[in-house]
């Protein structure tokens, strides 16, 4: 049988990666930001100045149809295992720490595995698998996939070193859950700020790794908590953006969309999702987003200030990405380092449209406020519908930048890749380039097969789909979606499916369910089959297992 050029390329890549000695394998860095919308970065049309991240994009590639898992810890569970969050044990959220011996964990052991709330100990993590291929493994930042039992912490789940916090959120100036390896510590140094501290620690880990005599490659997982609430910016970053947002979200959304089209991120006929009206799905937070021109001068000034805080937090991430890249360049490691940068979910709208904050607390060191509100979240997610929690584009479409000078051809750099993919593909790519394998069993239990597909051939120049003839599915709190070719079937909890030709309708403006009932039926059956395999329960049942409620045995 005659092999196609793509098949030959795939086979050669697999054989070459398996035969590489450890010293010749690429380093791998995954940079994850928190609650950042698709339309915030400069290279995705946004108004925040991100020159360092933009440079990674122009010297690498950008994806314009890549999906996360819609919320903080489900995304982390999927990224760290290459499985669905449910198969990893985090089908809802991470079980909260009790502050004492985790006597409540035996209760949760009676619950369905998918909803216990920490990474299952019989599921191999990415760093555990990369260790078998000779990698040094390091993590800095927000963990959020196992808090109560130390057995679920980073050091016990495959990382050689760890610095960061274990919970889902933290104060940026005075984190109260800070750990170095397994020891709880206090923040130190003048003008402490988590974004800065995480980068400093990451660079030190890499310096120490380079001193190892074995010349082994490294894997670094750098999980910034910015720009997740609480919104706390360094004063100089706040000052930089103060006054830049007084045009308001209506004008700015139009300008961001125009830039996205100009950059080639979206088809030229992509419409802007309407300014949201009242939403029953968001409860008391779901009031309508007002027109900017309807606000008073005082309201406009306050809204400018809270968005300047959010923008300053992203700007600080960019500054620190620049520091990390500069270190890699100075150490001679940049060309052989594969870097991924993405967001864990879309912008969050867990507060009323105009946010929750006091103006006087913004822009001061050691201070900040809670949330910037649904109105600015809508702007951050331009041009998409919905937010964090949901499976519509605003909730799960992430910017994804991949930078790898040694492998991405010059002719492919600065390309927008239109193939769709999702988190398990990143895990699969890391294993592929490292020559690592997923074990068939762990602790005498079978390990689920991953639906992820390696992106390596695509990065090197192939143009085939990542998921030909394969659907991908995501679920969170009853919100669900299945992507299959041009079609995306998506639904809110306890509401009918909506069908979109997502290739032609990126902003999900035209629901075609009534016109194509046969496609709805076919895809809904495929989703049900996946959900059964992955351990997804109806949210009517699964909400009884919520980490926020007393477990229901």
pLDDT in tens, 175-227: 989 999 999 999 999 999 999 999 999 999 999 999 998 889 999 999 999 99
Domain presence at residue 351: yes
Residue pair 34/388 in contact by the 8 Å Cβ criterion? no
Q: What are the phi and psi torsion angles at 492 (to 5°)?
A: -80, 160
Q: Give average pLDDT by consecutive 10-residue segment, the chain, 553 residues.
A: 42 46 87 98 98 98 98 98 98 74 66 93 97 98 92 96 96 96 95 98 98 94 98 98 98 98 97 88 82 98 98 98 98 98 97 96 97 97 97 98 97 97 98 97 95 98 95 97 98 97 96 98 98 97 81 46
Residue pair 155/111 in contact by the 8 Å Cβ criterion? no
Residue in 460, 488, 458 with CA at minimum distance from that of residue 474: 488
Question: Per DSSP, what are the bridge partners of residue 356?
Answer: 371
Residue in 506, 507, 489 with CA at minimum distance from that of residue 498: 489
324-344 CB burial, b ≥16 within 10 A, e <16: bbebbeeeebbebbbbbbbbb
Q: Which residues contact 518 (CB under 8 A, 6 or more apart)?
A: none
Residue pair 230/169 in contact by the 8 Å Cβ criterion? yes
Residue pair 91/115 in contact by the 8 Å Cβ criterion? yes
Which pLDDT score, from 0 to 100, does residue 406 have? Answer: 97
Which pLDDT score, from 0 to 100, does residue 20 have? Answer: 57
Residue pair 377/36 in contact by the 8 Å Cβ criterion? no
Kindly report the length of the chain.
Answer: 553
pLDDT in tens, 122-169: 999 999 999 999 999 999 999 999 988 899 999 999 999 999 999 999
Residue pair 84/75 in contact by the 8 Å Cβ criterion? no
Residue pair 339/70 in contact by the 8 Å Cβ criterion? no
Which pLDDT score, from 0 to 100, does residue 281 have? Answer: 79
Q: Is 473 a catalytic residue?
A: no
Question: Per DSSP, what are the bridge partners of residue 459?
Answer: none
Domain presence at residue 131: yes
- CATH number where 376 lies: 3.40.720.10
Q: For residue 81, give the 3-state DSSP assignment.
A: helix
Q: What Å distances lie between residue 367 and 193, 297, 316, 453, CA to CA?
A: 11, 24, 16, 43
Which pLDDT score, from 0 to 100, does residue 284 have? Answer: 67
Which domain range does residue 337 map to? 5-16+26-468
Half-sphere exposure of 197 (CA within 13 A, CB side): 26
Q: Is 430 a catalytic residue?
A: no
Domain presence at residue 498: no
Alpha-carbon distance of 138 to 201, in angstroms, equals: 10
DSSP string, 470-505: --EEEEETTEEEEEETTEEEEE-TTS--EEEETTT-
Angle at CA 230, nearest 5°, toward 225 and 231?
A: 90
Which pLDDT score, from 0 to 100, does residue 21 have? Answer: 65
User: Which tokens go with 48?
Assistant: 């925040």
Return the percent helix, strand and coil in the chain, to nearest 5: 35, 15, 50
Q: For residue 300, give the 3-state DSSP assignment.
A: helix
Domain presence at residue 518: no
Q: Which residues contact 517 (CB under 8 A, 6 or more apart)?
A: none
Q: How many domains does the chain have?
A: 1
Residue pair 341/44 in contact by the 8 Å Cβ criterion? no
β 161-165/178-180 pair status: antiparallel
Identify the helix (H) or strand (E) that includes residue 532: helix 517-534
Domain presence at residue 547: no
Q: Residue 297: is it exposed, middle or buried by C-beta count within 10 angstroms (0-12/13-18/19+)? A: exposed
Residue in 441, 519, 410, 528 with CA at minimum distance from that of residue 60: 410
Domain presence at residue 178: yes
Which pLDDT score, from 0 to 100, does residue 107 have? Answer: 77
Domain presence at residue 526: no
Tell me which of 86, 92, 144, 179 is the catalytic residue: 144
Which pLDDT score, from 0 to 100, does residue 103 have? Answer: 47
Q: Residue 243: is it exposed, middle or buried by C-beta count within 10 angstroms (0-12/13-18/19+)? A: exposed
Residue pair 97/166 in contact by the 8 Å Cβ criterion? yes
- pTM value? 0.94
Domain presence at residue 528: no
């Amino acid at each position: 049988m005659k092999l196609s050029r793509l098949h030959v390329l795939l086979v050669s890549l697999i054989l070459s990666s398996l035969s590489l000695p450890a010293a010749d394998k690429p380093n791998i860095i995954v940079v994850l930001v928190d609650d950042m919308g698709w339309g915030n970065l400069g290279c995705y049309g946004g108004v925040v100045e991100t020159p360092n991240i933009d440079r990674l994009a122009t010297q690498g590639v950008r994806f314009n149809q890549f999906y996360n898992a819609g919320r903080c810890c489900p995304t982390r569970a999927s990224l760290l295992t290459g499985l669905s969050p449910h198969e990893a044990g985090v089908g809802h959220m991470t079980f909260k720490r009790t502050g004492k011996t985790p006597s409540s964990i035996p209760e949760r052991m009676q619950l369905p595995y998918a909803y216990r709330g920490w990474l299952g100990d019989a599921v191999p993590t990415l760093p555990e698998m990369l260790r078998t291929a000779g990698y040094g493994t390091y993590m800095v930042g927000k963990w959020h996939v196992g808090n109560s039992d130390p057995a679920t912490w980073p050091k016990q789940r495959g990382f050689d070193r760890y610095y960061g916090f274990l919970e889902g959120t933290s104060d940026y100036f005075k984190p109260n859950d800070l750990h170095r390896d397994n020891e709880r510590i206090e923040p130190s140094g003048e003008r402490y700020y988590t974004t800065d501290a995480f980068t400093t620690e990451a660079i030190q880990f890499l310096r120490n790794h380079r001193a190892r005599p074995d010349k082994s490659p490294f894997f670094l997982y750098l999980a910034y908590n910015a720009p997740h609430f609480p919104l706390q910016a360094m004063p100089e970053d706040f000052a930089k953006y103060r006054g830049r947002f007084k045009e308001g979200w209506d004008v700015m959304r139009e300008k961001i969309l125009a830039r996205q089209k100009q950059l080639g991120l979206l088809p030229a006929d992509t419409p802007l999702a309407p300014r949201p009206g009242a939403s029953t799905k968001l409860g008391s937070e779901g009031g309508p987003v007002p027109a900017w021109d309807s606000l008073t001068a005082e309201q406009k000034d306050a809204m400018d200030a809270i968005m300047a805080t959010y923008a300053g937090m992203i700007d600080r991430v960019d500054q620190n990405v620049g520091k990390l890249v500069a270190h890699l360049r100075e150490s001679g490691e940049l060309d052989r380092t594969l870097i991924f940068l993405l967001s864990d979910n879309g912008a969050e709208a867990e507060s009323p449209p105009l946010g929750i904050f006091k103006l006087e607390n913004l822009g001061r060191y050691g201070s900040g406020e809670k949330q910037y509100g649904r109105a600015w979240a809508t702007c951050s997610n331009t041009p998409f519908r919905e937010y964090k929690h949901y499976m519509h584009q605003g909730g799960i479409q992430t910017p994804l930048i991949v930078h790898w000078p040694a492998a991405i051809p010059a002719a492919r750099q600065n390309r927008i890749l239109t193939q769709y993919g999702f988190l398990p593909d990143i895990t699969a790519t890391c294993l592929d380039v490292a020559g690592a394998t997923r074990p068939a069993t762990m602790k005498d239990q079978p390990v689920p097969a991953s639906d992820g597909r390696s992106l390596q051939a695509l990065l090197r120049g192939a143009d085939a789909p990542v998921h030909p003839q394969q659907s991908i599915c995501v679920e969170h709190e009853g919100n669900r979606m299945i992507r299959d070719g041009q079609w995306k079937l998506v639904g809110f909890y306890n509401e009918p499916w909506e069908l979109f030709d997502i290739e032609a309708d990126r902003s999900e403006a035209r629901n075609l369910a009534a016109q194509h009932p046969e496609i709805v039926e076919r895809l809904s059956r495929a989703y049900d089959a996946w959900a059964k395999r992955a351990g997804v329960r109806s949210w009517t049942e699964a909400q009884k297992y919520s980490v926020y409620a007393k477990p229901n045995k």
